[in-house]
């Protein structure tokens, strides 16, 4: 199902008989797309003994010139519906690439369709590059005991989903550490800061193996002083630094302004690739580190995936499969949930604020970076009844169902003033747990 920023074209079609969702039948089910084969774009469905095909002239979409991504799965039929599997179901999906280059594809753990199923991605997708058809193979299941997927996000104004699936709001302003993955023996807090200031980088034993993601949040004051949005995101993968900034939108690689047109990609040393698809910039590294920055009208949605062998920390949690210890300070202190307003924004939030000598975001403008916290929590029920009802209707129509995501969507559609803000919640995974901070402490009296 296309969102408000997408376009689609319904062509003629060929009917495929009803297919039973059984173990035997799914093993034989295959969907194949071919771009510009003999001047035609073709879609072929194979059900074992039968094959069904439809073709259109390749000049209708010019698909061969821009086809760079595919999303294959079993979803609900149309209009944001969900396909529901029996409890304990497990599905293994394989997406193969046949473009003659035999280059292994990469996996972005992000949905791009409004339709869903009730399975969760588990483990780490495997890239199978042996043979003529390199492929992505992943497993999804609703069985108990699965390992959660290593994907987290910071969306809207600003709602965070940790790697373990904890959903919470963080409305402070300033530069913050979303993720730091430590792959070396060097503790990132145990290095010579004077040496860092002189060189502008971590010691080689650390920097060659690290992964850092930072975000710059700015408040919605004066209209929405207790809300904030992402205005810039930056990552360091090894020795390569990439930033996406707003006002104006720009891409900065290793301190130099660069430009990517829609559909272009730029390979960088160290197995790193930067690409653009529409309003989305994707920075990825061989091995599994991926940062996705979706640039909207005034804010950036950020999602992060990381190579699972790394030890992770930051505002997006520690990825150990336990949501109860995701709210931990930079110094390792775990805060019991629900976390008080004061502890969330002072002890916890301030510990993850990025000092200037560690900033990757200075290329987006390093002077007068806003540093503030909201005066009080700000949720959907703080909106006026008219605001709430209108935005709630937009989110419901977009297919958002989970209560926590629906509240966040309701707030965002109002604060951001853009109905397209609902889309990210329509395709977001259901949170494992949700946390709301309590009211701030009353002011002290002299």
What is the DSSP track for 118-176? S-EEEEEEEEE-SSSS-EEEEEEE-STTPPBPSEEEEETTTEEE-TT-EEEE---BEEE
**CA-based nearest residue to 399, from 72, 7, 77:** 77
In angstroms, the CA 310 to CA 316 distance is: 14
Whether 93 and 30 map to the same domain: the answer is: yes
pLDDT in tens, 19-56: 777 777 877 888 888 887 778 888 888 887 788 888 88
Whether 263 and 327 map to the same domain: the answer is: yes
Q: What kind and span of H or E run contains 92?
A: strand 90-96
9: in domain: no
**Residue 309 confidence (pLDDT):** 63
Whether 183 and 99 map to the same domain: the answer is: no
Whether 334 and 252 map to the same domain: the answer is: yes
Q: 128: Cβ–Cβ under 8 A, 6 or more apart, which residues?
A: 94, 104, 134, 135, 136, 137
How many domains does one find in the chain? 3
84: in domain: yes
Of the three residues 339, 364, 389, the one that is the final residue of a domain is 364
- The first and second tokens of residue 359, run together, are 């900033």
What is the DSSP track for 263-276? T-EEEETTTEEEEE
In angstroms, the CA 193 to CA 184 distance is: 18
Whether 190 and 277 map to the same domain: the answer is: yes
Whether 385 and 340 map to the same domain: the answer is: no
Of the three residues 141, 160, 181, the one that is the final residue of a domain is 141
42: in domain: yes
Cβ contacts of 283-292, under 8 Å, gap ≥ 24 = 283/235, 283/237, 283/242, 284/106, 284/108, 285/211, 285/237, 285/238, 288/124, 288/150, 289/181, 289/211, 289/237, 290/106, 290/108, 290/109, 291/213, 291/233, 291/235, 291/242, 292/108, 292/110
**CA-based nearest residue to 237, from 214, 216, 255, 210:** 210
Q: 376: Cβ–Cβ under 8 A, 6 or more apart, which residues?
A: 226, 341, 439, 440
**CA-based nearest residue to 3, from 383, 291, 431, 428:** 428
Range with lowest mean pLDDT among 226-235, 344-353, 356-365: 356-365
Is 218 within 8 Å of 371 (Cβ atoms)?
no
**CA-based nearest residue to 50, from 21, 70, 30, 78:** 30
Of the three residues 311, 330, 364, the one that is the final residue of a domain is 364
Range with lowest mean pLDDT among 5-14, 148-157, 254-263: 5-14
Is 341 within 8 Å of 437 (Cβ atoms)?
yes
Is 215 within 8 Å of 354 (Cβ atoms)?
no
Whether 160 and 129 map to the same domain: the answer is: no
Q: Which domain does 73 fall in, by range?
A: 23-141
The secondary structure of residue 334, as a DSSP letter, is B
397: in domain: yes
119: in domain: yes
Tokens 């009730």 — which residue? 118
Strands 166-169 and 433-435 turn out to be parallel
- pLDDT band at residue 134, thresholds of 50, 70 and 90? confident
Whether 260 and 387 map to the same domain: the answer is: no
Q: What kind and span of H or E run contains 406?
A: helix 403-415
Whether 86 and 135 map to the same domain: the answer is: yes
Whether 184 and 291 map to the same domain: the answer is: yes
Give rounded-to-5 percent helix, strand, coil for the chain: 15, 35, 50
Q: Tell me the pTM.
A: 0.72
pLDDT in tens, 60-108: 777 777 777 777 888 877 766 778 888 778 888 888 887 776 666 766 6
16: in domain: no
pLDDT in tens, 174-200: 999 999 987 554 444 443 444 333 334
Mean pLDDT on 414-419: 95
pLDDT in tens, 141-185: 777 555 445 689 999 999 999 998 899 999 999 999 999 987 554
121 pLDDT higher than 80: no
Whether 54 and 187 map to the same domain: the answer is: no
Whether 419 and 347 map to the same domain: the answer is: no
């Amino acid at each position: 199902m296309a969102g408000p920023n997408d376009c689609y074209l319904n062509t003629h079609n060929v009917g495929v008989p009803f297919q039973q969702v059984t173990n035997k039948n799914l093993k034989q089910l295959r969907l194949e797309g071919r771009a510009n084969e003999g001047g035609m774009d073709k879609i072929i469905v194979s059900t074992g003994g039968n094959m069904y095909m439809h073709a259109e002239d390749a000049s209708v979409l010019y698909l061969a010139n821009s086809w760079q991504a595919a999303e294959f799965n079993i979803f609900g039929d149309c209009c944001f519906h969900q396909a529901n599997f029996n409890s304990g179901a497990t599905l293994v999906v394989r997406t193969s690439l046949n473009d003659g280059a035999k280059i292994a594809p990469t996996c972005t753990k992000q949905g791009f369709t409004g339709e869903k199923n009730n399975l969760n991605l588990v483990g780490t997708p495997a890239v199978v590059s042996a043979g003529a058809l390199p492929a992505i193979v992943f497993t999804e299941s609703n069985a108990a005991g699965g390992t959660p997927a290593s994907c987290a996000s910071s969306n809207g104004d600003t709602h965070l989903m940790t790697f373990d699936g904890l959903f919470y709001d963080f409305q402070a302003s300033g530069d913050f550490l979303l993720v730091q993955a430590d792959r070396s023996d060097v503790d990132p807090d145990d290095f010579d800061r004077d040496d860092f200031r002189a060189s502008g980088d971590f010691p080689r034993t650390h920097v060659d193996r690290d992964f850092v993601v930072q975000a710059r949040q700015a408040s919605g004051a004066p209209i929405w002083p207790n809300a904030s949005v992402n205005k810039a995101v930056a990552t360091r993968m090894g020795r390569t630094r990439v930033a996406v900034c707003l006002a104006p939108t720009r891409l900065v690689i290793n301190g130099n302004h660069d430009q990517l047109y829609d559909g272009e990609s730029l390979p960088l040393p160290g197995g790193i690739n930067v690409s653009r698809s529409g309003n989305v910039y994707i920075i990825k590294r061989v091995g599994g580190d991926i940062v996705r920055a979706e640039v909207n009208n005034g804010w950036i949605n950020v999602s992060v995936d990381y190579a699972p062998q790394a030890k992770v920390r930051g505002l997006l949690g520690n990825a150990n499969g336990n949501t109860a210890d995701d709210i931990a300070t930079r110094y390792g202190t775990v805060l019991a949930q629900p976390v008080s307003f004061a502890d969330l924004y002072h002890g916890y939030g301030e510990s993850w604020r990025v000092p200037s000598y560690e900033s990757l975001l200075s290329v987006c403008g390093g002077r007068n970076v806003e540093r503030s916290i909201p005066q009080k929590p700000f949720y959907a029920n703080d909106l006026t009844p008219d605001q709430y009802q209108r935005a709630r209707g937009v989110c419901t129509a977009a297919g958002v169902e989970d209560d926590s995501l629906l509240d966040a969507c309701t707030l965002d559609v109002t604060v951001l003033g853009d109905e397209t803000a609902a889309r990210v919640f329509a395709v977001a995974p259901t949170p494992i747990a949700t946390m709301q901070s309590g009211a701030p402490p009353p002011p002290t009296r002299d």
